[in-house]
Each structure stands twice: as C-alpha cells, then as structure tokens.
Structure 1
Amino acid sequence: MTSGTSVTSGSRRILVGMTTLSTSPAGLAPRARVVRILRTRFGRFLGAFVEMTVSMVVGMGVLGAVWDGVWPGLTLRPDVMALSMAFDMTAGMAAWMWVRRHSTRHILEMSAVMVLPFLVLLVPFHLGILSGDAVITWGHVAMFVLMAAYLWLRPHAAGAHPALARTDSAARRHASRRGLVAALLLVGGAVLAVVGGLLHPHTEAPNSHVAVFAEYAESTDWVWVHDLQFLSAAVVAAGFVVVGGALVRAGAPSVLARLGNTAAAATVALIAVNMAVDGVALKGAVDAWAVAGPDDKAVRFAAAEAIRWLEWGVNSFFTLLLGVTVVIFAVALLRSAHHSTLTRLAGVSGALAGVLLVLNGLVVGTRGFEPSALPKVATLLYVVMALGLPAVDRGARAASDVAVT
C-alpha cells in the first residue's frame, strides 16, 4: 500500500512525496526477541549447557550398553560405577565438542571438570566417610555445578569451516543426490532388518535350545522371513556403494571407498551364508527333530544344535565384518573435505556403531545369542550416521567450488 502527496504545476501533477507501508513487524517480534536472547551471553551459556547435558546423557546410555553387553559385572562396585559413569559422560561430551569444532584445550578442560568431582569424592569413600550412593549423588551435583561455572566463566563457541561457509548457499542449490540416495537405502535396509527381526520368532530365549527349537519348528513363514533379512542386507550394501562415490567427490581418499565397497560385498556374502544356515539348514533340522520318534530324538537334537553352533560362528563373523564396513565408511566421512557439523556427527556415530557391532560379533562368538542392548544401540547410531549422509552432497559441491576458485 502506498500513499503520496503531489502538487499541481500548470496542467501537470508532480509527485513530491511517496511513502511505502509494509506489514507491521509486530508478528516477527517474538522470534526476534528469542534470537536476541540466544545471542546474549546468557543465551550462549544456556545453549552450551543444554548441548553438554544432552551429549553426556547420550554418552552414558551408549557406553552403559557396551559395559552391560561386554562386561556385565563391571559396575557392581560403587567406586567402579562412579568412575565408569564419569568416563561415559565425559566421552559423550568430548565427542560432541569435537563434532562442534571446539578447540582441543576447551575439550580437555571440560573433561577435567567432569571427572574431578568423582576423583575427589572417592578419597573419603575409601576412607569409609562417604557411602557409594553419596559419591554418585554428590559427584553428579558437583559435576553439573562446576560445568555451569566453567561455561559461564570461560564462554566459548563452536567453530566453523570457512570454506564451507563461503560456498554453502551455492552447494545447497546445486547439491548432488548421491548422499540422499545412500541415506534412503541405508535407512530403508535398517527398517527391513527391524521388520524381519520382529517377524522372526523371538518368544523363547535364543540360547535355550529345546524351547527355541520347538518354537522354530512351529513357524510357517520361516524361509521368507530370512529372505527378507537377506534383502535388507543387500539394500544396505547398495547404500554403502552409493555413498562411496559421494565421499570421494567430497575429498575422502578413494582407497577408503574401495576398501569399504569390498568389505560391504564380503559382508553380504557372509550374510547369505548365515541365512542359508539359519533359514534353510536349521529349519530342516528342527523340523526333523520335532517329528522324530523317541529313539531318534537325541540324535536329531544333536544335529540341530550343531547347526545352531555353526550359525553362531557365521553370525559372529558377518557381524564383525559389518562393523568393520561401517567403521571404514565412518572414517571416510571424517576424512572428507569441507565436512559440516552434521557430517562429523555422522562420522562419529558411524564409528561408534561399527565398534559396537564388532563387540557384538565377539559376544555372539563366545556366548551365542544372549539378549544384549548392543545391536539396538548400534542400529540407532547407524541410523544417525545415515541421516547425516545428505550433508556429504553439500560437502562435495563445496569441495568442487573451492577447487575451481
């Protein structure tokens, strides 16, 4: 809407003033006020405190699952529990600070602030002055207080990658789709694997062979469920092959992409063997055991159990190799040029997922299919890695723009 004034000069009207009225900015006031608050020292402090707290909780959850799966009795002693919790939270916080490009000095200082209260309180604990519960409770209280004091007295912000910042807008406009396609394939494969796991009979404890063999023998959709599980692995392998090309374009060493593709192909081959053992051989063995007469029952059971142990071995090695594959691509993510915060987070998450898969493979090889949180946590971290892959497209475009300039 415009308004203006004019004067008459002879037979002509001459425009002498013009005002343009626009929509009132009142509607934007709340958002602007929030932005201003977040840019204040208190706003930056609050944002950093929330970031650190969330990363600490995530670190404690992820590494807690590792200890429960690999070393179940580790945290029975209060002092060991306190130290392990301090380590888990510090590791999660330090990893997130690295992802956000904080300086090494600040990461080390914050880590010292996190661990110091527990180390101090363990002295009166071993002298018999404090109980284990008091050490854990007051250690957490002191840790959060000292962390808040440090963040307030020594405010520091995450860094930025200058080359990426210069070319980010162009990269968003002209981004390749390889990272997005890879993310869809990796997440789609994970979803298929979860569906296959839910459809797979899982009421009985997997290491209780008599009960679980009887459950398997009653299954009528056993073979196609295992076909679905193999399909999920093939989709995941395809996603890794696709992302390998995007990572090379983003600056990752091509040898890592080739090594990752080779590992992915070998993983699919091992999964095919595992599905043949589990989805065909084991089903035939338990069916034969279920209908065997009294004289043949023991022999049939021994045959089914031998195939089950063979499944342990194949499953252990394919899980190990899958973990190695994920770690290789995670390293390639971290080595790619102009990687953003999201790409760094994807790389760290993928590395953790790969390590957890390797640990789970070792557990399966030694203890069989005992219930464990390791696969679930590894799957969650793997999905986080996959969701960060579209950022590789922008990184690839940024790398090409920098090379041109």
Structure 2
Amino acid sequence: MSTATASQPSPRGPGAAGPVPGPAPDAELATSAANRAVGVRTYRPATGLGVLALVSFAVFALHASSRAVRFRFSGDGDVVRLPDAEVAAAPYAWAVTIVLVALAGYAAVRARKLPRWVVALAGFCFVTGFLVWIVGTAQTPSISVTALLAGSVALATPLVFGALGGLLCERSGVVNIAIEAQLLFGAFSAAIAATVSGSAWVGLLAAMAGSVLVSVLLAVFAIRYRVNQVIVGVVLNVLVSGLTGFLFATVLQPSAAAFNTPERLPHVRIPVLAEIPVVGPVLFDQSVIGYIMYAAVAVVWFALHRTRWGLRTRAVGEHPKAADTLGVSVNALRTRNVLLGGAVAGLGGAFYTLVSVSAFTRDMTAGSGYIALAALIFGRWNPVGALLASLLFGFASNLESILSFLGTPVPSQFLAMLPYVVTIMAVAGLVGRSRGPAASGEPYRKE
C-alpha cells in the first residue's frame, strides 16, 4: 500500500532523484512572523511590567523619603534660566507604582506586543521614580539635570563607537567579542602617536589604524580560517590586554614624556545653541569626538537602511547563501565591514586618551567593550537603539558618581548593577525577544 507522502510528485520535477528538500532555513522565522501577524497571545510584556511595578512598590513607595527632591535645570551662568522643580518623593513614588500597575494590567488584557508608547511611558516612570527615590535618600536632595545628562553623554561616547563597530560586524554575520581589544588598542595607539607627533589629530587617525589592526586578525581567523568567532574575540581581548600592559610598563611608564603625554582634542562650544537650557550643554558643548559620535550614528543608520551597501550587508547577515546567489561576495563584504567596524571602534578608543585623560594606563577601558556589546544587543542591532542603550549605561555610571558626592546611603555597587538588571528585564519582558542576524557567528563556505 502506498502512502500519501509517496504518491506526491517530487517538487523538482518528474524523474528527479534524491530526497525532497526540506523547508527553507528561515521557515521558522516566517512562521513566527505569521503567528505575530494573526495575534498569538503572550504575557511576557505583562510579566515584565509587573516586575517593575513590584519593585516600585517594594522599594520606591514603601521606602520613600518624606522630603522633596529638587531638580535644577539651569546653572548660575545660563542666559536663559528655567525654574527648579520640586517633587515630593513619597507621593511621586506611589503615583509611579499606580501607573506601572495600570500598564501591567493593560498588557495582560491586551496579551500582545506592547505599543511603543507603553514601553516609553513605563521606562520614563521607572527611571524617574528610581531617581526621585535615590536622590531623596541623599544628604542634599538636589541634583542638576544638565550635569547629569551631559556627564551621561560623555561616558556613553566610547560605548556608542564600540557598539557601532560591533554592529557593522554582526550585521554582516561576524560576532565581534573583540570590541574591548579594539577600544584598548585604539587608546594605546592614540596616546603614542599623539605624543610623538605632537598632534591630537594624528593620534585620532592612529587610534583608528590600531583598532583596524585588531580587526585584521579577527577577519583573518574568523572569516578566512573559519575559527570559532567567540573564541577568536576572547583571545584577542586577552592578547591586547597583555601586550599593552607589557608595553606600558616597559616603554610608556619609564618614558612618559616621550611616549605618553598626548595633546587633547579641542572642545567646541557652539554659540547660541549651547545656551539652550538643558539640551544646549548636552548637544552643543562637546569635544570633537562627541560631534563625530552624533554624525556616526546618523551615517551608519542611513547607510544600513537606505543604500545598496546596507541592503547587501543585511542580506549577508541574514541569508549569505541567497546573497551569494545574487552575486554578492559574502566573505569579501564581511572582511570589509569588519575592518570598517574596527575603524569606528577606534574612535571610541581615542576618547580615553585624547579627551577623557591625557595619558594611557593599563587596561584603562575597564571592560567597556563588553558593555558596548551589551548595548548593541539591548539596542536590537540598530544604530539608534545602540545609542539609547549606551546612554542608559552612561546615565547609570554618571549617576553613581554624582550620588557618591551627595552622600546617599545606598551602596554604589547596586547603582553599578542597575543598567545590567534593566537590560535583562527589558530584553526578557518589556521589549520582547532580542534576535540578532540569523547568520551571525556562522562562517560561510562557498560551495
């Protein structure tokens, strides 16, 4: 007796030998998209909002200060002054908790992917609720919003460049764990070149070249020899850390005047625009690298979504075999993008020695490459998302420094943990599943 499967004609035509080909590699993704289109019910967003509401109730509301928190929006020298805002800590904490509970209930009833306004409102309520609670516990319950935001942007600058460098690699299908090595070697190269040449601009170019050198090793081993990309990235991080540490101890430290006293890049303040309250000092009173950061995010976004190169890059990262069939040289494009990503990450490395401090020190990046990688994943492999995620990490780091001066009883270690906890909660509950390029980490062999 013949079965129904055996009686079906072969999809490759009569007389074709061999098994019937299975579903396309991305059939599962197509099925998932179809399920979302018909409205598959999910309670993960409601769970995430419920956790935020629970934290707000247990921490912000039940342990709120009885004092009012003052937010200062203007400094003494500002041309346009905005009035300070005072917020009663306890009532605001209860208001935030009620809003989060309402949003969690809305998400449970909806049982679908949340609209962006819900995510934005929940994030705003939780962040401001935490800020009011933590500042209310300080000896001086007052904080400058302008200083908080300006410091956050400064601390986020190298993270943004690192995330953009990783994005260019991973959108092409190459996992870049070596962002830490790129930032560190970029900072090392910038310090030496700027000191020897006497020009910070030469140091900036040297930082890009040094980071590209790390990318060459990543591309050779990961793309040409198809070594596991995660292992290659970890090895490069250890290699660069040891190499720069050795050269710092044997060359830079004994001869600091000759090799480790670089000039700083100029700080540019745009007249009139820099006088705008709050946003003026944040956007228009920056170092040169700060302005380059804004331009880099815009250029990468436009190139990735509005150009032929961007289309090919996304195709290679999602389905390299289909891109190869259409005439795209997969490995050549991946190699070029890995080198380009290294050059972008090098700009972040230059920030440490040409803007932040005028000297290179051992392991001065302090794990910023891994934070940039987390920002890339949190930002869903999108330039704008990576920028916002990096600003979150910068905000938490700057808040930790400011609160240490205000005298809050909350241990600084908990503040340092905040962005990572928020990242896990956002990816798992609020934003939904974070899926990278389908072919990321998979070496391509042309058959």
Q: TM-score, normalised by structure 1?
A: 0.27
Pick the structure with more helix per residue: 1
Highest CA radius of gyration, 1 or 2? 1
Using CA pairs below 8 Å that are at least 6 residues apart, which structure has the higher relative contact order? 2
Q: TM-score, normalised by structure 2?
A: 0.25
